[in-house]
Amino acid sequence: MHGACRKVFGLAGLLICASFSTAPADEAGVSFWLPGQYAAFAAQPGTPGLSFETAFYHATASAQRNATFDRDGHIQVGVNSPSDFVMLTPTYAFDTKILGGQPAFGMTALVGRNVTSVAATLTGPEGGTLSGSRSDRVIGFGDLYPSATLKWNQDVHNFMVYATAGIPVGAYNTERLAALGLGHWSVDGGVGYTYYNEKAGVEFSTVAGLTYNFINPYTQYRSGSDFHLDSSFSPYVSERMHIGAVGYLYAQVSGDSGPGAMLGNFKSRVAGAGPQIGFFLPMGDREGYLNLRAYYEFAAEHRLEGWNMFVTFSVEPPEQRSSLLAARR
């Protein structure tokens, strides 16, 4: 009887912990940085004024179901967490230069849904097993993400430095599996480069950055610091269309910590690659840009993985034609 009780309480504890911090590194397997958010023309200065970008993001994500961790016996955890987000980002680019570069400030707001399910099996010392599962769904608003960039152009070379942060105001509750917020503050900064050769009709962009996560006051869990690299390569097939490839690399450089990090110094990593296509669309006195890209993830460790896609549409300020299109003429 007492042995059975220990198994029941062990399974209950496993399901609670698995919901937030067990199998994957980064709390709940979710990082502040969304891999793949930088792609074509990342470091290209924009037209001065107010621009708007709308991005739809879909991801299928799950942890390896055969991942095994010791917790009073052999524990197997399965996590599935598909998500759909719409991100709205108004950005104002200034005409006045700072250190020769163009400054811009933006704010990203997120709305969407997240469905998370957890399945777990606890095997006791005598071979007895208990299984259980939980699932949850949330629809609402996510955290806010202010950002600042400074971009330079030198002929075919473009350079960027950026800084961004996560303000934890999104849907988040420690008693629920699903969430649209992280529950903690984060800051991130890095550098980017875009090469665009008009005569060759080739674009290449890459952005590298580091994330620092503050401790989650609700769970006393601090996700480790992260390194991320987003890249894009896209030859032009016409004046208004390019087709190419995208990829990213994400890896924790320091492990998770804090009293809530029950499994200790976990570190996660994942890579992704796939196709992209982009279109420049005339819109009266404005210029629109539509980009579709998808990533297949691989080489994941202590991290949810699957495939994801972005559909982004941006509109530049009026009066001037797109700086990207003008550069090709």
pLDDT digits over 278-299, tens only? 999 988 888 899 999 999 999 9
The pLDDT score that the predictor gives to residue 132 is 66
- The upper half-sphere exposure of residue 53, i.e. CA atoms within 13 Å in the direction of its Cβ, equals 22
Of residues 188 and 172, more confidently modeled:
188
In the predicted structure, residue 322 carries a pLDDT above the cut 60: no
The pLDDT score that the predictor gives to residue 28 is 64
Which residue range is the domain that position 278 belongs to? 2-327
Token pair listed for 180? 């649209």
The tally of domains found in the chain comes to 1
pLDDT digits over 222-276, tens only? 989 999 999 999 999 998 999 999 999 999 999 888 887 766 667 889 999 999 9
Average pLDDT for the chain: 82
Q: What percent of the chain has pLDDT over 70?
A: 77
Q: 3-class DSSP state for residue 10?
A: helix
Torsion-angle region of 227 (φ positive above 0: left; ψ -120 to 50: alpha; else: beta) = beta
Tokens 């849907």 correspond to what residue? 171
Q: What percent of the chain has pLDDT over 90?
A: 57
The CATH number of the domain holding residue 64 is 2.40.128
pLDDT digits over 114-150, tens only? 887 777 655 555 555 555 677 889 999 999 999 999 9
| Residues 6 or more apart in contact with residue 224 via CB below 8 angstroms | 25, 26, 213, 252, 253, 254, 255, 256, 257, 266, 267
Beta-bridge mates of residue 56: 86, 311
The most confident of the ranges 23-37, 58-72, 154-168, 313-327 is 154-168
DSSP characters over 260-321: T-TT-S---EEEEEEEEEEEEEEETTEEEEEEEEEEEEEEEESS-EEEEEEEEEEE--SSS-
The pLDDT score that the predictor gives to residue 78 is 65
Say if residues 277 and 36 touch (Cβ distance below 8 Å). Answer: no
